[in-house]
Amino acid sequence: MLNPDGAGAPAGSRLLEARGIRKSYAALEVLRGVDLVVERGELVFLIGPSGSGKSTLLRCCNRLEEPSAGTLLVDGVDLMSPRIDINRARRQIGMVFQGFNLYPHLDALGNVTLALRKVLRLSRRDAEARAMETLALVHLQDKARSYPGQLSGGQQQRVGIARALALEPKIILMDEPTSALDPELVGSVLGVIRELRERGMTMVIASHEMGFARSAADRVLFLEGGVIVEQGTAEQVFTSAREARTRQFVQQIMH
Amino acid sequence: MNALAGEFLNLDVMWRVMPMILAGLARSAVLCAVLLPIGLAGGIGAMLLSTSRVRAVRWAAIGAIDFFRAFPPLVLIVFVYAGLPFLGVELPTLASIAIAFFLNASSYFGEIYRAGIRSVPAGQAEAARSTGMTASQTFLSVTFPQAVRNVLPELISNTVELIKLTTLASIVSVPELLHSADLARSLTYNSSPLILAALIYFAILWPLVRLAGRLEHRLR
């Protein structure tokens, strides 16, 4: 049965369709009914003050956080269904973290191969071959045998991207991927993200890199107080926002 | 001075009792080879139970761990060795000792593992789960290896303690190293065998103590 929106239809253009997402911690309501719909191949930017719920929204999209209410479809699969195999569903949804969260006891190659071996059950040879290809995509094929502690922040984050990318997800969620980086290292990570976009990867990125948003984002969403206040192209949101709250926030991050 | 040396550092006596001492050392080695894996594995069980999501299980485990950490191990060995037969359970001596050590050492190792698990940032498990790994895969491949690495000095220190505790097996007449040395002392009317045993313990344990210290330094 098709619903009027066409949700659940095979090969629809909507890759991620989160509707009415709410998330509360005890008395605190962090998300108050957020809709996040992402088309195939789209790069969506999430901006908003700290505590506005950007991280929580991203983490609800792969149920790393359990939404208190709402519907969540990824490529037509209902992630909130009681029968969902969430581990299987998560293969389709890559995640990149602000603090990288690389496994410090494994080298770059080991970080990328772990899920390939445990989740996709590839042989060591196949996993390493695929991991090397993926590390090449983030320009780190020479660092395969380096441990996270031996890599710069920018290199670590690119390993983090490779770890997500290796599973060939349909969408990658990035939670402030460059906020923990020294300014001179930001460019290498943004460069990789830009290349992913050119390859057609669908991404949702919580980030305040405005210059990058202008040149690469299809859409910018401004989140505040657990609701989406405004959305539009980067140009619209950054230079001619309708809402005073948006303009005020944009002023702040532009200094 | 000579009298003192003759009583404690009598090389002649040491040489004569050497076969006995070596037999004791071999028995101690067997004890360690049996008891250490029991403690290390039991500790994992204790850690899993004491971090269970089921509150009743968690509380029971924490209660038992507290109890066996506070209970004197010597009394525990005697209870298991001499007490179980009254309940109709006849066990070989080594099995009695193994049970007592299982209860004692699991409790200590369990607490060390638990501290190790706590030392691993939550983001590690989140990263693994986000790639589709199951909770148990995440624990085995991501959380536990890092936990062990973070508490390796404490695990080694506790291993040293366990090796020293194996001397308690002497009270249920297991002829381990210290028991043999004490027997040799009463046979020779001379304390040198005890010093010999102490030197052997020191030669084995001191490198472990040093290793723990160095690891601790490197991890900080």
Q: Give domain limits for chain B.
A: 2-219
DSSP conformational letter for A101: -
Which one, of B144, B211, B214, B155, lies nearest residue B36 by Cα?
B155
What are the pLDDT digits (tens) for B132-174? Answer: 999 999 999 999 999 999 999 999 999 999 999 999 998 888 8
Which tokens is A105 given?
A: 């006891």
The bridge status of strand A202-206 relative to strand A43-47 is: parallel
Chain A residues with beta carbon closer than 8 angstroms to that of B146: 103-105
What are the pLDDT digits (tens) for A20-47? Answer: 999 999 889 999 999 999 999 999 999 9
Whether the per-residue pLDDT at B28 is higher than 50: the answer is yes
Q: What is the 3-state secondary structure (H, E, C) of chain B?
A: CHHHHHHHCCHHHHHHHHHHHHHHHHHHHHHHHHHHHHHHHHHHHHHHHHCCCCHHHHHHHHHHHHHHHHCCHHHHHHHHHHHHHHHCCCCCHHHHHHHHHHHHHHHHHHHHHHHHHHCCCHHHHHHHHHCCCCHHHHHHHHHHHHHHHHCHHHHHHHHHHHHHHHHHHHHHCCCCHHHHHHHHHHHHCCCHHHHHHHHHHHHHHHHHHHHHHHHHHHHC
- Highest mean pLDDT among A3-12, A55-64, A230-239 belongs to A55-64
Query: For B132, which of A87, A97, A103 is closest by C-beta distance?
Result: A87
Please report which confidence band the pLDDT of residue A254 belongs to, taking 50, 70 and 90 as the band edges.
Answer: confident
**Do residues B38 and B102 lie in contact, with contact meaning Cβ atoms separated by under 8 Å?**
yes
Q: Quick check: B130 and A87 CB within 8 A? A: no
Q: What is the mean pLDDT of chain A?
A: 92
In chain B, whose CA is at the least distance from the CA of A114? B141
Query: For A90, which of B124, B131, B142 is closest by C-beta distance?
Result: B131
| Closest CA of chain B from A232, distance in Å | 29
Residue A3 has what pLDDT?
41
In chain A, whose CA is at the least distance from the CA of B126? A64
Q: Quick check: B132 and A95 CB within 8 A? A: no
Whether the per-residue pLDDT at B109 is higher than 80: the answer is yes
Contacting residues for B81 by C-beta, under 8 A, at least 6 apart: B93, B96, B97, B100, B172
Query: Which of B119, B130, B140, B143 is best to mutate for the A interface (most A CBs within 10 A)?
Result: B130
Which tokens is B37 given?
A: 């894996």
Residue B220 has what pLDDT?
62
Q: Quick check: A87 and B134 CB within 8 A? A: yes
- Phi, psi of A9, deg, nearest 5: -70, 140
In this structure, of A51-55, A124-128, A138-142, the range with the lowest mean pLDDT score is: A51-55
| Closest CA of chain A from B166, distance in Å | 33
Chain A residues with beta carbon closer than 8 angstroms to that of B141: 114, 118
Chain B residues with beta carbon closer than 8 angstroms to that of A160: 127
| Closest CA of chain B from A100, distance in Å | 9
**Do residues A178 and A187 lie in contact, with contact meaning Cβ atoms separated by under 8 Å?**
no
Interface of A with B in 110-149 (CB under 8 A): 114-115, 118-119
- The two most distant CA atoms of chain A are separated, in Å, by 56
Note the ipTM here. Answer: 0.91
d(CA A132, CA A204): 25
Size of interface A-B (CB pairs under 8 A): 64
Measured between CB atoms, does A167 come within 8 Å of chain B?
yes
In this structure, of A164-178, A240-254, B131-145, B148-162, the range with the lowest mean pLDDT score is: A240-254
Residue B172 has what pLDDT?
87
Residue B90 has what pLDDT?
86
Residue A12 has what pLDDT?
63
DSSP conformational letter for A141: G
Which one, of B205, B182, B198, lies nearest residue B20 by Cα?
B182
Q: Which CATH superfamily is domain B2-219 in?
A: MetI-like (1.10.3720.10)
Q: Quick check: A118 and B137 CB within 8 A? A: yes
Q: Quick check: A64 and B137 CB within 8 A? A: no
Quote the strand ranges of A67-170, DSSP E: 69-74, 77-78, 93-96
Measured between CB atoms, does A163 come within 8 Å of chain B?
yes
Query: For B146, which of A104, A114, A118 is closest by C-beta distance?
Result: A104
Which tokens is A23 given?
A: 């998330």
Query: Which of A87, A124, A159, A167 is best to mutate for the B interface (most B CBs within 10 A)?
Result: A87
Please report which confidence band the pLDDT of residue B3 belongs to, taking 50, 70 and 90 as the band edges.
Answer: confident
Residue A57 has what pLDDT?
96
Interface of B with A in 121-140 (CB under 8 A): 121, 123-124, 126-134, 137
Measured between CB atoms, does B141 come within 8 Å of chain A?
yes
Measured between CB atoms, does A88 come within 8 Å of chain B?
yes
The bridge status of strand A28-39 relative to strand A14-25 is: antiparallel
Domains with residue ranges and CATH for chain A: 42-51+86-253 (3.40.50.300)
Query: What integer is the mean pLDDT of B4-9?
Result: 86
Chain B residues with beta carbon closer than 8 angstroms to that of A90: 129-132
In chain B, whose CA is at the least distance from the CA of A59? B130
Chain B residues with beta carbon closer than 8 angstroms to that of A114: 128, 131, 133, 141-142
**Do residues A225 and A49 lie in contact, with contact meaning Cβ atoms separated by under 8 Å?**
no
